[in-house]
């Protein structure tokens, strides 16, 4: 698989110090920004397991936002596993709470309840909201705890997004709608930057890797690879990957302009400024294999700067 992507057959030659330092940095992850609804996890009402809460989101950040996880107030007792689904709809949730056909499932996750009026963390699959207006629905199979709306607690905003809250139902997208009801929760997000994609033409054994909207100041970068896909996408401990020997091999690839495994974000006319491509037939030896990929960058002072989304691809 590695030789199919990188024809040069580059060898593992990184100093041990680089590998150890990179592992320490990567395991630390990327800090996320957040927005918390006004009740701040002080509830006075609640819904049935499998019920939904609905509210509106306006993304103000021009490049959009990547929603990475959330905290929520659960009816389930502390220690009980809870499953969460997140749906969005263009425009607004108002008047659309019972029309499930209009909604799109964008993220799911599982957490362990911390009990009533505590912020239960749920690591959902990541999803991107571009600049604009959306309705959002959060379905909690452990049951929501929420707060009655008073007018004063129904809106919150920061520089990146605003929330207008909200309604609830005991059965998601069905039955009576209770209003106003305020979701008790926090959304965690990062700027929508460093967008990685890996695609193949239908029926062919080619490959195109693109990396768009690089963070300002991106310097040296690496594309990490793992064939360990036992966890869900972006659920691994190292920038969303479950590392294997391919991951450490990629860290050891020497820099060369346009090298997809070790590149510089400032290089013009080569990856990542332009897509990296393998022609038809070049990935034939990887046919049927599934891998995860993620990119990360250092700034020009060699400090960790940013990471991309995780991409999973099964080769034709």
The predicted-structure confidence for 79-121, as pLDDT tens digits, reads as follows 999 999 999 999 999 999 999 999 999 999 999 999 999 999 9
Question: In degrees rounded to 5, what are phi and psi of residue 283?
Answer: -110, 15
Residues 209 and 295 in one domain: yes
Of residues 38, 36, 35, the one with CA closest to residue 180: 38
pLDDT single digits (tens) 39-75: 999 999 999 999 999 999 999 977 788 898 999 999 9
Q: At 31, is the pLDDT very low, low, confident or very high (cuts 50, 70, 90)? A: low
CA distance 183 to 199: 38
Looking at residue 215, its pLDDT comes to: 84
Q: What is the CATH number of the domain that holds 278?
A: 2.60.40.10
CA distance 2 to 8: 10
How many beta carbons lie within 10 A of that of residue 13, not counting itself? 8
Residues 260 and 286 in one domain: yes
Residues 16 and 96 in one domain: no
3-state secondary structure of 5: helix
C-alpha distances out from residue 229 to 2, 166, 255, Å:
16, 38, 27
Looking at residue 214, its pLDDT comes to: 87
Q: Given 183, 200, 222, which residue is the final one in a domain? A: 183
pLDDT single digits (tens) 158-175: 989 999 999 999 999 999
Percent of the chain predicted with pLDDT > 70: 90
Residues 176 and 48 in one domain: yes
Residues 65 and 143 in one domain: yes
CA distance 160 to 72: 20
Q: What is the CATH number of the domain that holds 146?
A: 2.60.120
Domain range holding 170? 38-183
Q: Residue 10: pLDDT above 60? A: no
pLDDT single digits (tens) 232-269: 888 888 888 999 999 999 988 999 999 999 999 999 99
Between 35 and 25, the higher pLDDT residue? 35
- Burial tier of 280 (Cβ tally within 10 Å: 0-12, 13-18, 19+): middle
DSSP state of 28: H
Residues 23 and 109 in one domain: no
Entry pTM? 0.64
C-alpha distances out from residue 289 to 10, 66, 189, 191, 249, Å:
21, 28, 31, 31, 18
Distance between alpha carbon 178 and the CA centroid of its chain, in Å?
A: 30
């Amino acid at each position: 698989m590695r030789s199919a992507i990188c024809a040069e057959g580059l060898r593992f030659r990184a100093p041990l110090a680089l590998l150890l330092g990179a592992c320490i940095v990567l395991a630390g992850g990327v800090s996320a920004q957040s927005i918390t609804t006004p009740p701040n996890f002080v509830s006075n009402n609640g819904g049935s397991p499998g019920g939904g809460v609905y509210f509106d989101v306006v993304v103000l950040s021009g490049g959009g936002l990547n929603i990475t996880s959330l905290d929520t107030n659960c009816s389930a007792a502390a220690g009980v596993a809870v499953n969460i689904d997140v749906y969005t709809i263009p425009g607004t949730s108002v008047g659309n709470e019972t029309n499930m056909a209009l909604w799109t499932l964008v993220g799911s996750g599982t957490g362990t309840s911390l009990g009533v009026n505590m912020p239960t963390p749920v690591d959902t699959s990541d999803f991107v909201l571009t600049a604009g207006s959306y309705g959002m629905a959060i379905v909690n199979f452990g049951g929501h705890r929420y707060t009655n709306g008073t007018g004063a607690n129904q809106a919150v905003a920061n520089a990146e997004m605003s929330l207008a809250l909200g309604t609830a139902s005991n059965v998601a997208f069905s039955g009576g709608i209770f209003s106003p009801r305020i979701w008790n929760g926090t959304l965690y997000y990062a700027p929508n930057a460093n967008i990685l994609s890996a695609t193949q033409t239908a029926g062919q054994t080619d490959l195109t890797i693109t990396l768009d909207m690089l963070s300002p100041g991106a310097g040296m970068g690496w594309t990490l690879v793992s064939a360990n896909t036992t966890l869900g996408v972006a659920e691994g401990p190292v920038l969303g990957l479950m590392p294997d020997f391919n991951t450490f091999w990629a860290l050891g690839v020497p820099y060369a302009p346009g090298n997809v495994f070790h590149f510089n974000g400032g290089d013009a006319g080569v990856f990542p400024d332009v897509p990296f491509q393998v022609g038809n037939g070049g990935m034939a030896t990887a046919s049927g294999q599934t891998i995860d990929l993620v990119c990360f960058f250092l700034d020009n002072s060699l400090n960790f700067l940013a990471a991309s989304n995780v991409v999973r691809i099964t080769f034709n």
